[in-house]
A and B are shown apart, each in its own frame.
Chain A
Amino acid sequence: MIKIINGLLNVLKVIMLLVCFVFTFYIIINMYNRLGKDLIDSISNFIPFVLLFILFSINFVFKQKSVNQCTFYNITCCLVFLMLLFSIYRTFNDRNMIMVIRLGYNINFNYFSDMIAPMRFMLYTLSFSNILLMITGLSVFEKK
């Protein structure tokens, strides 16, 4: 049962990561365009997504049980992406936030900019945890 749940969570977290990345990319590129800032500066916001995607790919390719079968880690990943998706939904659709009207765009940059720092913190921490879980799964730690 746990194996099935973990399998589902593993697939779900990768899909959610990709969806979050696409929308975050769209919002941040528009945000930087609006402010007239150099788009190169926005790259730092996407690094944690890419890093996490690479780590997830490694987990899948090498079938690392220490990560893939860690239910707590998988649930936390899904929770983080759920939170990001909810924020993205509000960025586009919450018309009760006055800044949407005030800015005149259909994207609430003001709201989303508050989310960038916590988002980066959570994604980097998840990457760090992933690396630690990978290390604990290495064969040098296995009991002989």
Chain B
Amino acid sequence: MDFLKQYLKVICYVCTGLVFAFASFYILANLYHYYELRKDYITSYNNEYLSVEIDETLSKVQSNLSSYKPNSYKGNVSNSNMQLITQRLSNCVSAFNNETINNIRNKNKITIIDVYNLRESYENDILNNCVVANLYWLTEIDESFGSTYLLNNRDVTKLYIDSLLTSYTSYLKKDLLNNSSYYYNTSIASSSVKDNTRDGFYEVMDAYNRVAKLVLYVSEWYKMEAGV
């Protein structure tokens, strides 16, 4: 009977040991995950090269917009279309000055929530309100529009806009939403959490920059057209 008792004790301690190891692992993994999500990226938004570049691009767009004078304009594109484009480009510029970006401007550190908000704002304000609502017409123009330059570049512009709409930031979105799950701490799981704030910030700012460049491209044509 003593043998059976010892045998049962061994099984019991093995089971308890297994639970002990499992619980210890879970506590440590949870702690790691907890602190990793709190790693803020210490930086000033206004001094970041990408945000400076975006601001410079947008100010160039605004100065290009002022080149159109309805009374003296003698180009091929109709006056009503030029006024419509003015409005559309202005809408795009104001889409960049959205609430999320204005809130981040005053901060000196970026949190994971800021990155998430920036990405959501990119999708709603920039892609929907700027690219789809105000720039997608570039892919649908024909000879009657009156601009050979835009017509010749239409297919390339369509490719560029389509690439923006398929979204560079979709992986970032998956990673951000995944940060509530960690399961076992594999290298894949940890890489989706590790330094996500800094990497995500640059990823989403790069996406903003790409759209800003598209707005600049249209405004440069607009300036050229207005100067005719």
A79 to B: closest C-beta gap in Å? 5
Interface size on A, residues (CB 8 A): 38
Question: Given contacts A98-B179, A108-B180, A141-B2, is CB(A136)–CB(B26) below 8 Å?
Answer: no
Residues of chain B lying within 8 A (CB to CB) of residue A97: 37, 179-180
Is the beta-carbon distance between A121 and B22 smaller than 8 angstroms? yes
Q: Is residue B43 within 8 Å, beta carbon to beta carbon, of the partner chain? A: no
Which of A79, A95, A118, A132 interacts with B11 by CB under 8 Å? Answer: A132
Identify the stretch in B12-20, B71-79, B91-99, B162-170 within 8 Å (CB) of chain A at 4 or more residues. Answer: B12-20
| Number of residue pairs A-B, CB distance < 8 angstroms | 100
Roughly how many angstroms separate A143 CA and B113 CA in the complex, as a whole number?
A: 64
A117 and chain B: residue at smallest CB distance: B183
Q: Is residue A38 within 8 Å, beta carbon to beta carbon, of the partner chain? A: no
Residues of chain A lying within 8 A (CB to CB) of residue B224: none
Roughly how many angstroms separate A83 CA and B29 CA in the complex, as a whole number?
A: 10
A114 and chain B: residue at smallest CB distance: B181
Roughly how many angstroms separate A143 CA and B3 CA in the complex, as a whole number?
A: 12
Roughly how many angstroms separate A13 CA and B26 CA in the complex, as a whole number?
A: 18
Q: Is residue B34 within 8 Å, beta carbon to beta carbon, of the partner chain? A: yes
Residues of chain B lying within 8 A (CB to CB) of residue A76: 16-17, 19-20, 23
Q: Is residue B153 within 8 Å, beta carbon to beta carbon, of the partner chain? A: no
